[in-house]
Every structure is written in structure tokens, then in C-alpha cells.
Amino acid sequence: MAEKYNVPIILSTHSRTKNRLNKIDEIKLDKRIQFLKPFGLFNYVNLQMNALCTISDSGTISEESAILSFPAISLRQSMGIPEAQDAGIIILTGFAPSVVLNSVDTVVDEFKNGGYKKIADDYCVKNTSWRVLKLILGNTKLSNKWWEINE
């Protein structure tokens, strides 16, 4: 990716991971690949919004990408947020290099051509509190029955 796009590849790296990488002598990486200390939230969000593409295994990358409108892919093979996939917000790639690269090409091209501003309808709900209240009220009796709680 560094070679194809000629951009730095910035990896937020935990100190234990960095120590393990330093112990492996045979790894020869492109000089554009940078293993940096973890970022604070605001710096990380700024990095995401200004990156060519964010590649992440975070469980919230689909929401971040949709709401802040930046291209991203997820290295996960599955996720608990089907609305993100249904709306075409995120591509789940796994770790196969060819799939990752093709997916980056796809979202970068889409973003450059102005087709990336999409937010899943589920992210635009305005009455979330009422929905949650009704869900809790509607399921309390069922939960009580499971736990054999009598009212």
C-alpha cells in the first residue's frame, strides 16, 4: 500500500507489540511504515479524517467512518453491526493481502468520486431514548419470567 499510493502507513502500536516487532530481525519494512505510540482520541480522529483510508479492526470503525465521512475498511471477518454492511458503509476484509488492497482501492476510489457520504438510517434515529424505554418495558416481564421473579 505504501508503494502503490506513496503514502506513509501509520500504525498506532501498543508498547508490547512494538517490543515484539523489535525482536524480529528478519522483517524488512518499507520506510514509509511507521509504528507510533497510541494516539489520544482527538489526535486519532484527526488522523482518521485526514488519512487516505483507515484500516482498523475496531468494532466502531463503521460508525466513525459513516458519521465523520472518511474511507475505511475493517480487518474483521464478521461484526455485530449489520446496518453498516447493509448500507454499504464498510467492507469486512479479513487479513488476506489481496482482499485488503482491493478493498482499499474500492473505498478510496469511491471517496475520490464523491460517493462516500452515507450514513445508515439506523444512525439517524432521533427518538433513541423512547425506543430503548419501550424495549425495556416490553421485555421486563419476559426477563422476570426467565428469572422466576413474580410481581
Give pLDDT tens digits for 13-54.
988 988 888 888 777 889 999 999 999 999 999 999 999 999
Domain boundary assignment for the chain = 39-120
Under the banding of pLDDT at 50, 70 and 90, the label for residue 148 is: confident
For the chain, give the mean pLDDT. 88
In the predicted structure, residue 139 carries a pLDDT above the cut 80: yes
Burial class (CB in 10 A: 0-12, 13-18, 19+), 135: exposed
Distance (Å, rounded) from C-alpha 105 to C-alpha 109?
6
- Residues 98-122 have pLDDT tens digits of 999 999 999 999 999 987 667 777 7
Residue-wise pLDDT tens digits, 64-83:
998 899 999 999 999 888 88
| Cβ neighbours of 25 (radius 10 Å) | 6
3-state helix, strand, coil in the chain (%, to 5): 50, 10, 40
Quote the DSSP letter at residue 124: G
pLDDT for 102: 97
The DSSP secondary structure of 23-44, one letter per residue, reads H-TT----TTEEEEPPPPHHHH
Residue 124's pLDDT band, with cuts at 50, 70 and 90, is confident
End-to-end distance of the chain based on CA atoms, in angstroms? 61
pTM: 0.77
The CATH number of 39-120 is 3.40.50.2000
